[in-house]
Amino acid sequence: MVMALDGIKILDLSRLAPGPYCSMLLADFGADVTLVEAIPGVSAKLGGPRNPEGAQKQVAYNAFGRGKKSIALNLKDETARELFYEMVKNADVVLEGFRPGVVKRLGVDYETLSKINPRIICASISGFGQTGPYSNLVGHDINYTSTGGGLDVIGQKGQPPAIPINLVADFAGGGLMCAFAICVALLARQQTGRGQNVDVGMSDGVLSLMTSAFSGFFGSGTPVRRGESTLNGVTHFYNVYETKDGRWFSLGSIEPHFYEALTNVLGIEEMRHEQHNAERWPEFKEKVAAVMKTRTADEWMAEMSKYDICAATVLEMENVVTNPHNVARNMVIELDSPVGKVQQIGVAAKLSDTPGKPKSTGPMIGQHTDEILSGMGLSAEKIAALKASGAVG
């Protein structure tokens, strides 16, 4: 089966979530991804024990590694670095997620690698990007989401910002944005014949995700505040409510025809013609909350699904993976692994002619070192010597 990214070779130096997620997305569509990993034990930050107990199971369930190979190189070693340069000659993309300046010190930056392969695309994911006064600051998703403006608008009025799991900066603003940028750079290379440097700052990515909110702010001068706009909890018709069984249910009936259907099902006639009467929104919230507690979440879903009502049960993780819609969309898949069949999340983008499909579960660190080096023409004796010297693992 032909896949969209067949023939694209990616060397992935990244370690933390955004980079591996980025290369997972690309591997799912056929890219040949090789993880260039630290030799276990060489770095206190990046390497752990070679085969810790339960590592095979951990690797099998780690979707970020799926469809990839792994070579362990000590890039601080000159011999290992020369091996990496040989790999770069036939590669299309080098992906990294270090702090700014690290790849330069290691000698694997774009300036260096582009002299070896002018078609190479070097993609960097960092918290605040490669330039600017924050570029060398450390951080995590919560910090990048704060700088990009996302955190301040999530939560209830008068309450502290709600802290989302690390979806916003790490995965959307970082990994997904970088996968998009790499594909754009690959298309550009078809026009120019040259590679280029890609700089993805997660705080930039969050700010890009805030485009709609800031468009409103630039036009009106009124900023979005927590719990004070239609899309973050101020109204009764775009909100979440507890149900009879203690679960939560989401309503999003903004448009008049959806809203009318909602009032019919809830049986609150007085709300019908006062959808946008903000003075009554607190009162209407209480009325809706009372009605929603009269049925279970499943009962409400069954009832509201009969009509044009924007509504859905707030699914807990254990219910997400058994939800018939998610299952029908192949968003929960099974893969064979050394420890048996394992479940993972499937491929979100559905392409009709070149669909994505994970090729395998992830590798152990250095699992393919011998295979890759022998493919480069190195003898078994030479590989053994490199391992003994600590250049490879």
Give the mean model confidence (pLDDT) for residues 92-120. 98
> To the nearest whole percent, how much of the chain has pLDDT over 70?
97
CA separation for the pair 306, 130 (Å, rounded): 51
Q: Are residues 54 and 108 in the same domain?
A: yes
Q: Is residue 271 part of a domain?
A: yes
DSSP-derived secondary structure letter, 98? P
- Answer yes or no: is 70 within a domain: yes
pLDDT exceeds 80 at position 188: yes
β-pairing, 121-126 vs 197-201, is parallel
Answer with the one of 267, 294, 313 that is the final residue of a domain: 313
User: Counting beta carbons within 10 angstroms of the beta carbon of residue 331, is it exposed (0 to 12), middle (13 to 18) or buried (19 or more)?
Assistant: middle
Number of domains in the chain: 2
Question: Of residues 12, 141, 170, 204, which has the active-site annotation?
Answer: 170
Q: What is the domain range of residue 283?
A: 230-242+248-313
Category of 152 on φ-ψ map: left (φ > 0), alpha (ψ -120 to 50) or beta: alpha
Please confirm, yes or no, whether 140 is among the known catalytic residues: yes
pLDDT of residue 43: 56
pTM for this prediction: 0.95
**Can you tell me the distance from the alpha carbon of 88 to that of 134, in angstroms, rounded to the nearest whole number?**
30
Domain check: are 166 and 35 in the same one?
yes
pLDDT in tens, 151-174: 999 999 999 999 999 999 999 999
Cα angle, residue 251 at apex, residues 258 and 276 outer, rounded to 5°: 60
In a domain? residue 334: no
How far is Cα 25 from Cα 176, in angstroms, rounded to an integer?
A: 8
Clarify whether residues 259 and 192 are in a common domain: no
Pick the closest to residue 300 from 271, 275, 269, 265 (CA basis). Answer: 265
Residues 237 and 188 in one domain: no
**Contact, 149 vs 214, CB < 8 A?**
yes
Q: Which of 77, 140, 368, 370 is catalytic?
A: 140
CATH number at residue 265: 3.30.1540.10
Categorize the per-residue pLDDT at 54 as very low, low, confident or very high, splitting at 50, 70 and 90. Answer: confident
Q: Residue 48 — very low, low, confident or very high, per pLDDT cuts 50/70/90?
A: very low
Going by C-alpha positions, the residue among 231, 187, 210 that lies closest to residue 93 is 187
Please identify which residue in the block is written with the tokens 């013609």. 273
In a domain, 135, yes or no: yes
Q: Has 92 been annotated as catalytic?
A: no
